[in-house]
Amino acid sequence: MKIKTGIVKKLLRSQSLQQGYTLPEILVAIGMASILGAVAIGSNPFGQTSKLNDAGYQLEGILQQTRTRAIATTSAIRIEPDPDNPSTALKIESATTKGCEAISALSAAVESDETQIPVVSTRGFSVGDKLKIGSDDTDNQVIAIDDNSSLLTLGQAIGSTQPEDAVVELAQNWAPDGALLTEDLTFNEPMEIASNVSNNEWRLCFDSRGFARLFDAQGVVDQDLKLTISDTSNDEELDLLVLKGGAITKPETDEL
């Protein structure tokens, strides 16, 4: 509050005390002090150390730019931990499709001679889709879908053995997105990123309308994504929340 007091005094002293002050002059002085005070508070919205604030701005910028690009390019774009450095770096990929729904996981392991693929959810898949099932993306074309049993039927045997929980998604649909460089997606030590998703295996997808869809190793997760950046040198941390509608916010205290 010292900034307000000092500015008000300086403005009021610019005139002789004997002249007095009109109401508009006093209101202008108080208004200017309020604006400057708000700017001073807004310069540190996370209320943490400068390094942690910088990391917070970096993460927020990555999320905002990813969502904006998804809308601008009318293509789904997803972001997830970099598998090489999952606690300190992110990876971004863009799709040839507009939506995020066509992704799931095997609900049971499959053998190489099987044509019926059990999945956690068939939502988003269509007859004619070509699939990547775990590490296999060869000739896996869908010819039938059983929503009740959560089964995808292929035109021929998968040809490889894939474990339970292997990701099932559209083949050749995702490619690295080059809008941000590797260094832009990497957080400097001692910063680390965690989430509210089990085992930190989260994947956030923005569709062409900017709506967010959260996935874990099992498929779609019906919740908002909370990302936590921690400064491991002093145990300080800050949170960012990505709502299902796509908005990116700082959680209120009672939401944590």
In this predicted model, what pLDDT tens digit does every residue of 85-127 receive, in sequence order? 999 999 999 998 888 888 889 999 999 999 999 999 898 888 9
Q: Looking at the domain 50-100+174-255, which fold is it?
A: minor pseudopilin epsh fold (3.55.40)
| pLDDT confidence tier of residue 152, bands split at 50, 70 and 90 | very high
Its pTM stands at 0.69
In this predicted model, what pLDDT tens digit does every residue of 209-247 receive, in sequence order? 999 999 888 778 889 999 999 999 998 999 999 999 999
In this predicted model, what pLDDT tens digit does every residue of 49-73 receive, in sequence order? 788 999 999 999 999 999 999 999 9
The answer to whether the 50-100+174-255 and 103-172 domains have the same CATH topology is no
Q: Looking at the domain 103-172, which fold is it?
A: Elongation Factor Tu (Ef-tu); domain 3 (2.40.30)
**pLDDT exceeds 50 at position 40:** no
Percentage of the chain beyond pLDDT 90 is: 61
Q: Whose CA is closest to 215, among 19, 98, 81?
A: 81
Q: Residue 115: in which H helix or E strand, if any?
A: none
Domain residue spans in the chain?
2-42, 50-100+174-255, 103-172
CA distances to 3, 140, 154, 170 from 126, in Å: 61, 13, 12, 10
In this predicted model, what pLDDT tens digit does every residue of 158-172 receive, in sequence order? 999 999 989 899 998
**pLDDT exceeds 90 at position 25:** no
- Name the strands in the sheet holding 116-118, side by side, starting at the edge strand that comes first in the sequence: 116-118, 151-154, 142-146
**pLDDT exceeds 90 at position 132:** yes
Q: What are the two backbone dihedrals, phi and then psi, of residue 168, each rounded to the nearest 5 degrees?
A: -120, 120
> Rounded distance, CA 67 to CA 240, Å?
15
